[in-house]
Amino acid sequence: MRRTGIALLLAIFALPLLAIDAAPPLADPVQQQRYQALIHELRCLKCQGETVADTQAMFGEDIRRQVREMVQSGKSDPEVRDYLVDRYGEIILLRPRWTAGNAWLWLAPAVFLLGGAWVGWRILRQRRGLLATDTSEVDEVRRP
Amino acid sequence: MNRFAIPLALFAALVLVFAVALKRAPEKQFVRSALIGKPAAEFTLPDLMNPGGTVDSRSFKGKWVLLNVWGTWCYECRAENPQLLAIRQAGRVAVVGLNYKDEDEAARQWLKELGNPFDAVAVDKEGRVAIDYGVYGAPETFLINPQGIIVHKVVSVITPDLWQTQLLPMIEGRAK
């Protein structure tokens, strides 16, 4: 029992061996946090559905190294993003930036929501009108 | 009739948007290179075929260059090799290899076995130059004009058909 427990505990402690990002954390915790945030918002172009943080593809490995080095050498987040967008295009960012070309991506949900609300409101209003004024069908049914 | 006019118009607009987007999307290429029309990154890298020497991208200025990213770990590169050999033979472009994240010895062996289609092979062991070119896999191929501007990028195997219908017309200035 006790030995099983110890074995289990060891197995749990060994879990980091399965980590995808094998590089040691950056010495500066602030930089480490920025590095983590950045690689979680970059798209792995080799695998499309994954972030650079989550992928085992070689591409992810190289981009993580690049981001790590840039953060370490004092580059700001926008500088890192610009560097990658210059080479890979906007698609590498999982969260599109606010640019003239991208604005519709951000505005479309609000436009659709307002449009839907407007249609719903019109339907409701129409129905309310029906109830208040049109009793002909009801009279029809009541007639024996 | 009137009830359906607006939804129908909206649907037609949507179809139009999709049709235009599909028409404009490059064939089978999800990611259009951000680098087309921009100067190709300069590099000086170790020379695979000449240990101790280097390959300098500047030495190809003034020529059309086909920069092919490959590795022995890439199966499709093997399929692409005969076409690259044919292109080299045709002599319209300098064919430059970027050996991407590979082992030198394996790469040399590979070229000995299949034939070497390259005027020069630069070794990018860590994939740093590849990042400058927006590379995310292999094979990828860049067509660079004599002024050093990236004209086109192919993210797949170069087939004879692709060479004839896309790349060659660009080199000969026949492309639209």
In a domain, B52, yes or no: yes
Q: In this model, does residue A140 exceed pLDDT 90?
A: no
Asked if residue B88 and residue B159 are part of one domain, the reply reads yes
**pLDDT mean across residues, chain A:** 86
Contacts of B132 in chain A (CB under 8 A): 87
Q: Which residues pair with B121 in a beta bridge?
A: B97
Q: Are B66 and B96 in contact (CB under 8 A)?
A: yes
Q: pLDDT by residue (tens digit) across B14-34?
A: 999 999 888 876 554 555 688
Asked if residue B48 and residue B28 are part of one domain, the reply reads no
Asked if residue B155 and residue B98 are part of one domain, the reply reads yes
Q: State the Rg of chain B over Cα.
A: 20
| Helical packing angle, A58-72 and A29-40, nearest 10° | 140
pLDDT at residue number A130: 73
Q: State the Rg of chain A over Cα.
A: 28
What does chain A look like in DSSP terms, one character per residue? -HHHHHHHHHHHHTGGGG-S--SPPPSSHHHHHHHHHHHHTBB-TTTSSSBTTT--SHHHHHHHHHHHHHHHTT--HHHHHHHHHHHH-GGGBSS----TTTHHHHHHHHHHHHHHHHHHHHHHHHHHHHHHH--HHHHHHH--
Confidence of residue B164 (pLDDT cuts 50, 70, 90): very high
Asked if residue B132 and residue B86 are part of one domain, the reply reads yes
Interchain proximity B127–A88, CB inside 8 Å? no
Q: pLDDT by residue (tens digit) across B150-159?
A: 999 998 899 9
Contacts of B134 in chain A (CB under 8 A): 87-89
Asked if residue B144 and residue B109 are part of one domain, the reply reads yes
In a domain, B39, yes or no: no
The token pair at A19 is: 């980590």
Domain residue limits at B51 = 44-171
Domain count, chain B: 2
Mean pLDDT within B56-75: 95
The token pair at B70 is: 């490959």
Confidence of residue B118 (pLDDT cuts 50, 70, 90): very high
- Which amino acid appears at position B105 of this protein? E
pLDDT at residue number A80: 96
CATH number at residue B90: 3.40.30.10
Positive or negative, the Cα torsion across B154, B157, B163, B164?
Answer: negative
Interchain proximity B34–A59, CB inside 8 Å? no
In a domain, B161, yes or no: yes
Contacts of B31 in chain A (CB under 8 A): 45, 88-89, 91
Question: Which residues of B make CB contacts under 8 Å with A?
Answer: 30-35, 101, 126-128, 130-134, 136-137
Q: Are B67 and B141 in contact (CB under 8 A)?
A: yes
Q: In this model, does residue B162 exceed pLDDT 70?
A: yes
DSSP class of B41? P
Give the C-alpha separation, B90 to B84, whole Å.
10
**Non-local CB neighbours of B89 within 8 Å, separated by 6+ positions:** none
% of chain A with per-residue pLDDT over 70 = 87
pLDDT at residue number B153: 92
Asked if residue B160 and residue B105 are part of one domain, the reply reads yes
Asked if residue B87 and residue B11 are part of one domain, the reply reads no
Interchain proximity A59–B137, CB inside 8 Å? yes
Torsion from C-alpha of B68, B74, B77, B79, nearest 10 degrees: -170
How far apart are the CA of A50 and the nearest CA of chain B, in angstroms?
14
How far apart are the CA of A94 and the nearest CA of chain B, in angstroms?
14
Q: In this model, does residue B143 exceed pLDDT 70?
A: yes
Top-ranked range on mean pLDDT: pick from A98-112, B14-28, B100-114: B100-114
pLDDT at residue number A39: 95
The token pair at A107 is: 């505005």
In Å, the largest CA–CA distance within chain A is 89
Asked if residue B164 and residue B79 are part of one domain, the reply reads yes
In a domain, B122, yes or no: yes
Q: pLDDT by residue (tens digit) across A3-55?
A: 888 888 888 777 666 667 777 888 899 999 999 999 999 999 988 789 999 99
Asked if residue B147 and residue B69 are part of one domain, the reply reads yes
Strand order from edge to edge, sheet including B94-100? B120-124, B94-100, B65-70, B140-144, B150-154
**Among A36, A54, A37, A52, which residue's Cα sits nearest to residue A88?**
A52
Q: In this model, does residue A141 exceed pLDDT 80?
A: no
Coil, strand or helix at B69: strand
In a domain, B37, yes or no: no
Q: In this model, does residue A115 exceed pLDDT 60?
A: yes
How far apart are the CA of A113 and the nearest CA of chain B, in angstroms?
16
Interchain proximity A88–B136, CB inside 8 Å? yes
pLDDT at residue number A135: 61
Coil, strand or helix at B32: coil
Interchain proximity A89–B133, CB inside 8 Å? no
In a domain, B38, yes or no: no
Tell me which residue in A58, A66, A91 faces B101 most closely, judged by beta carbons: A58
Mean pLDDT within B77-89: 95
In a domain, B91, yes or no: yes
Asked if residue B77 and residue B23 are part of one domain, the reply reads no
**Who has greater pLDDT, B170 or A136?**
B170
In a domain, B126, yes or no: yes
Asked if residue B97 and residue B52 are part of one domain, the reply reads yes
Asked if residue B89 and residue B16 are part of one domain, the reply reads no
Mean pLDDT within B106-134: 96
